[in-house]
Amino acid sequence: MRNIFRFLFASLFIVTFSCVDSENTIDTVLDYETGAILRTIKDDPTNNYVLNSSEPDSQFSVMVEEQDEQDGDLLKQVNVYTYMRDLTPENGDSSTSDYVYVSTVDGSAFSTGPVGLPRGAVTMTFGAAASAMGLSSDDYLPGDVFVVGLEVELTDGRKFDWTSAAGIITGGFFSSPFKYNALLTCSPEPGDYVVNMVDSYGDGWQGGGISVNIDGTVVYATICDEWGTALPGCLGTGYPNNTGGTVTITIPPGTVSAIWDYAGDAWPSEVSFQIYAPDGTMIINVPPGGIPAQLLPVAVCAQ
């Protein structure tokens, strides 16, 4: 499932290759300064790019693998920095101007991974990040973003971060962005959320629809497609009658986190939907034409 919030900004560290003396052109091209990278382990279940602003202990987490010229033996620690992008104009602009230091993960917290390199989780709590930036509860709202930057520090004193990246390692195999977006959410208002869904062509949604992760339990709001995609609770039967309908998603009292995720659609021009809060207020309106796959900013905070 694609997600424009989870696969975030790309930047990276210097990576280099050493080779024997040679007159070959390729050897000259690969004669770079040696550095270090932190490769993102994308499919690790501990990865979490959402921070609950109602819970100071809510954690950003990413699993990374460190590589240096001595296959990880130079790793001393990983330093965590952050700044805030204020994307909610209703409370003014409290964006911070530059990264501030938050915390350090010691190299001893890393263990040897399946390819013989150090691998470990790098975390940052919402409370620690807000405190480091000097933010009060008036400065942020759900929908704002904490940008997280990592710096690898080696035992010989060298440091590498998102500013020293070579383009070859910002994606692809190395997958080492060293910069991530952590979306701010909040503990949700309990009650019935109504999702109204339309497919103008009548053959259903072909992409997975909307899912809501309610404290680890996933429920769906989507229109069944005519080729057999039948996510739990999907609406409709077959073409031309899969034009849509309404689903109610109940968030129980005491819920800590409800993360709404839209998986996108193969035919976005046919897709539209609206989401209504328990008090009947429309909180999302996606017109015909759809949107890319992304986390949905459904943020009705519990009082």
Q: Which two tokens stand for residue 281?
A: 């207020």
C-alpha closest to that of 273 among 199, 202, 208, 193: 199
C-alpha closest to that of 86 among 133, 42, 119, 43: 133
Verify that 162 and 254 share a domain, yes or no: no
Judge whether 279 lies within some domain. Answer: yes
Does 210 score more than 90 pLDDT? yes
Last residue of a domain, one of 185, 217, 251: 185
Verify that 226 and 280 share a domain, yes or no: yes
Enumerate residues 6+ apart whose C-beta is below 8 A from 281. none
**Contact present, 64 and 120 (Cβ < 8 Å):** yes
Q: Picking from 45-59, 75-89, 175-189, which range would have the lowest pLDDT averaged per residue? A: 175-189
Q: Assign residue 28 a region: left if phi > 0, alpha if psi is -120 to 50, beta otherwise? A: alpha
Judge whether 230 lies within some domain. Answer: yes
Does 183 score more than 80 pLDDT? yes
What whole-number distance in Å separates Cα of residue 107 and Cα of residue 294? 33
Does 10 score more than 60 pLDDT? no
Domain that holds residue 150: 25-185
Verify that 43 and 177 share a domain, yes or no: yes
Verify that 65 and 148 share a domain, yes or no: yes
Task: Give the pLDDT of residue 33.
Answer: 52
**Contact present, 6 and 23 (Cβ < 8 Å):** no
Q: What is the 3-state secondary structure (H, E, C) of the chain?
A: CCCCCCCCCCCCCCCCECCCCCCCHHHHHCECCCCCEEEECCCCCCCECEEECCCCCCEEEEEEEEECCCCCCCEEEEEEEEEEECCCHHHCCCCCCCCEEEEEEEHHHCEECCCCCEEEEEEEEHHHHHHHHCCCCCCCCECEEEEEEEEEEECCCCEECHHHCCHHHCCCCCCCCCEEEEEEECCECCEEEEEEEEECCCECCCCCCEEEEECCEEEEECECCCCCCCCCCCECCCCCCECEEEEEEEECCCCCCEEEEECCCCCHHHEEEEEECCCCCEEEEECCCCCCCEECCCCCECC
Verify that 171 and 198 share a domain, yes or no: no
Verify that 42 and 93 share a domain, yes or no: yes
Verify that 236 and 161 share a domain, yes or no: no
Verify that 77 and 197 share a domain, yes or no: no
Verify that 122 and 180 share a domain, yes or no: yes
Verify that 176 and 100 share a domain, yes or no: yes
Judge whether 11 lies within some domain. Answer: no
Judge whether 78 lies within some domain. Answer: yes
Domains in the chain, number: 2
Q: Mean per-residue pLDDT for 28-39? A: 61
Last residue of a domain, one of 131, 166, 185: 185
Judge whether 14 lies within some domain. Answer: no
Task: Give the pLDDT of residue 115.
Answer: 94
Verify that 236 and 128 share a domain, yes or no: no
Verify that 164 and 212 share a domain, yes or no: no
Judge whether 301 lies within some domain. Answer: no
Unique residue bearing structure tokens 């001393």:
76
Last residue of a domain, one of 140, 170, 185: 185
Strand 50-52 with 179-185, pairing: parallel
pTM of the model: 0.72
Query: Which tens digits make up the pLDDT trace of 213-241?
Result: 999 999 999 998 876 556 777 888 777 77
Judge whether 20 lies within some domain. Answer: no
